[in-house]
Amino acid sequence: MIFTGSVATPVGVLAVQSDGAAIRRVGWPVVPAPERGGRADPLLAEALRQLREYFSGERTEFDLPLDLGPQTEVTRAVLMALYDTVGHGETVTYGELAERSGTAVPARGIGSIMGANPIPIIVPCHRVVASDGLGGYSGGAPGEGLVTKRWLLEHEGALPAALF
């Protein structure tokens, strides 16, 4: 059974999916997801609580079981290297993440993997930047990817707040 809930954040409404054993998906729905499931899911409630704490500045790490779904070994290695080695307030370049993951993925390939991350925010793909700037970001409301990425990095203290 899949349980779905949502939480309003400064970067839009996030929908969260749990199967009762692990968080399986986080994303920005076009239409907010209705609550689903025949019974309450304590894991979903905990994930929503942790996300609220993150956005209010009370949490810097997530403590949730994750299920990345069907992924190649390389994709899983890259996403887990990101999750395990790039902390709150830090950034890493696409090339540095490729090295940390121990894979032979080129920087451009790392970008594609970040764009396919099923659990953004918790697996912090917003912390991966280009060597010469922010790079891309597919999260957030349609057309707001880089605004969302900048907000998240400012929120974590990895970027100074914009003056304008």
**Active-site positions?**
125
Nearest-10 Cα torsion for 90, 14, 114, 77: 80
SS3 143: coil
Helix axes 94-101, 73-85, angle to 10 degrees: 110
Report in angstroms the alpha-carbon separations of 91 from 10, 46, 112, 141, 144. 21, 26, 17, 22, 20
What residues pair up with 133 in beta bridges, in sequence order? 130
Q: For residue 47, give the amino acid letter.
A: A
The DSSP H or E segment spanning 79 is helix 73-85
